[in-house]
Amino acid sequence: MKNILIIGSVGQIGSELTMELRKRYGNDHVVAGYRKTEPSEELANSGPLERVDATDVEKLNDVVKKYKIDTIYNLAALLSAVAEAKPQAAWNVGVNGVFNVLEVAREHGCAVFFPSSIGAFGPTTPLDNTPQDTIQRPTTMYGVTKVTGELLSDYYFKRFGVDTRGLRYPGIISSVTLPGGGTTDYAVEIFYEAIKHHKFTCPLPKGAFLDMMYMPDALDAAIDLMEANPSKLRHRNAFNVTAMSFDPEILAAEVRKHMPDFKMNYEVDPVKEAIASTWPNSMDDTAARREWGWNPKYKLPEMVADMMDKISAKLGIAFK
Ligand code: SER
Ligand 1 lined by 171 (C-beta under 6 Å): yes
Please enumerate in sequence order all residues whose Cβ is within 8 A of that of 60, keeping only pairs 6 or more positions apart, or say none.
7, 52, 53, 54, 100, 101, 104
DSSP state of 130: B
Residue nearest to atom 5 of ligand 1 (CA): 171
Beta bridge pairs of residue 33:
7, 50
Amino acid at 189: E
> Would the pLDDT of 1 be above 70?
no
Ligand 1 lined by 183 (C-beta under 6 Å): yes
Ligand 1 lined by 78 (C-beta under 6 Å): no
Contact 284, 240 (CB under 8 A): yes
| Residue 101 C-alpha from the chain's centroid | 18
Report, as residue numbers or ranges, the catalytic residues. 142
What is the average pLDDT across 16-31?
97
Pocket mutation for ligand 1, best pick of 12, 93, 116, 117 (most atoms within 8 Å of C-beta): 117
> Would the pLDDT of 179 be above 90?
no
Per-residue pLDDT tens over the stretch 238-292: 999 999 999 999 999 999 999 999 999 999 999 999 999 999 999 999 999 999 9
Q: Confidence band (pLDDT; 50, 70, 90) for 128?
A: very high
Q: What is the pLDDT of residue 180?
A: 85
What is the average pLDDT across 300-311?
98
Q: What CATH number labels 4-170+213-240? A: 3.40.50.720
What is the average pLDDT across 55-70?
96
Q: Confidence band (pLDDT; 50, 70, 90) for 113?
A: very high
What percent of the chain has a predicted confidence (pLDDT) above 70? 100
> Would the pLDDT of 101 be above 80?
yes
Per-residue pLDDT tens over the stretch 137-163: 999 999 999 999 999 999 999 999 999
What's the pTM? 0.96
Architecture in CATH for domain 172-211+245-278+299-315: Alpha-Beta Complex (3.90)
Contact 92, 35 (CB under 8 A): no
> Would the pLDDT of 302 be above 70?
yes
Closest CA to 73 of 40, 25, 41: 25
Q: What is the pLDDT of residue 36?
A: 86
**Closest approach atom of ligand 1 to CA 184:** 4
Domain ranges of the chain: 4-170+213-240, 172-211+245-278+299-315
What is the average pLDDT across 102-117?
98
Which element (helix H / strand E) includes 165?
Answer: strand 164-169
Pocket mutation for ligand 1, best pick of 178, 185, 186 (most atoms within 8 Å of C-beta): 185
Map residue 136 onto helix, strand or coil: coil
Q: For residues 121 and 127, what is the distance between their CA atoms, to the nearest angstrom?
A: 9
Return the sign of the alpha-carbon dihedral for residues 310, 225, 213, 31: positive
Per-residue pLDDT tens over the stretch 36-47: 888 999 999 999
